Amino acid sequence: MSITVAAEPSPFRLVDGKAALLVVDMQRDFLLPGGFGESLGNDVTRLGDIVAPLVGLVAAARAAGIPVIHTREGHRPDLSDCPPAKLNRGVPEKRIGDVGRYGRILIRGEYGHDIIDEVAPLPGELVIDKPGKGAFYRTNLEGTLLAAGITQLLVTGVTTEVCVHTTVREANDRGFECLVVSDCVGSYFPEFQRVGLEMIKAQGGILGWVSDSVTLAAAIKTKTLSTATTSALSCARPRRFQGAE
C-alpha cells in the first residue's frame, strides 16, 4: 500500500511501512541565541519559522504510525571526536566546547545541545547523536534503518544547506529516497534556503523530492499506516547512538 504525495519534480510514492520522519538537529544550540549557530555569526531567529509547521508534521507522523527519528550534532565533553579543523572554525572567542548561554556549546549532555521542547522526542523515539554534519557519518543510522526496513526518509530540521543537505546526500548515495519538507527545513540565509531546495529537486530529482508540510500531512492522514516500523524502531527508553570510536 502506498500514498501519493504531491511533490517536485514528480509525485512521491510514500510506501506503507517504509518511511520514517527524520528531524535533523532541532537543537537549542542552533535555534536559540547564545548557542553554536549564533557563535558562527548567524541570526538564529530565522530558524523559528519552521517550528510550528514541524510540530504539526511530527504530530501527523506519530498519529499515522510513521517512526520519528531525531538527530543531534555534538561532541563528547573532552572533544576527542571533534577534529581540530572543525574546532578552530568560527569566532575565536566562542567555539565548540566554550561556555555559552546554554552550557558548553555543542557538547553532549548540555542544555543547549538538546532538542527544543516543541519537538522533543517521545520516549521510545530514536535519537542519533552525530559528530558531523551528516547523520550517517560515524553513527548507526544506516544499519538501524536497514534493520527496520526503512527505505524512505521524510527530511526536516536545520540547517537546510548544511546538516539537512549533507544528510540527504549521504542518504541518497546509500539508496534511500528522500522527501525534503520545504517549510520544515530552515536556513540562516534566505538565498541558501531557496537554492538548497532547488538543488534537491533539480535534474529530475537528482538528490530527492521536495514537498511541504500541509501537503504531506494531509496525504499521510488519508491512510492509517502500518505500525510495524514504529515498533521495529521503538524501545523502552530513547536510544542514543554515539559516534564510533
User: Catalytic: 130?
Assistant: yes
> Of these residues, 25, 29, 81, 183, which one is catalytic?
25
Q: Taking Cα atoms as reference points, which of 219, 197, 214 lies closest to residue 206?
A: 197
Chain residues binding ligand TIU by CB under 6 A are 25, 30, 40, 73, 133, 158-159, 162-163
**Closest CB to ligand TIU among 18 and 165?**
165
CB 163, min distance to ligand TIU, A? 3
Residue closest to ligand TIU, measured at CB:
163
Q: What angle do CA 108, 111, 117 make, to 5 degrees?
A: 115
> Of these residues, 130, 133, 183, 184, which one is catalytic?
130
**Closest CB to ligand TIU among 30 and 176?**
30
CA atoms within 13 A on the CB side of 39: 27
Cα separation, 25 vs 128, in Å, equals 10
CB 151, min distance to ligand TIU, A? 24
**Closest CB to ligand TIU among 159 and 213?**
159
**Closest CB to ligand TIU among 162 and 180?**
162
CB 2, min distance to ligand TIU, A? 31
> Of these residues, 82, 163, 178, 184, which one is catalytic?
163
CB 23, min distance to ligand TIU, A? 11
User: Catalytic: 25?
Assistant: yes
**Which residues are identified as catalytic?**
25, 130, 163
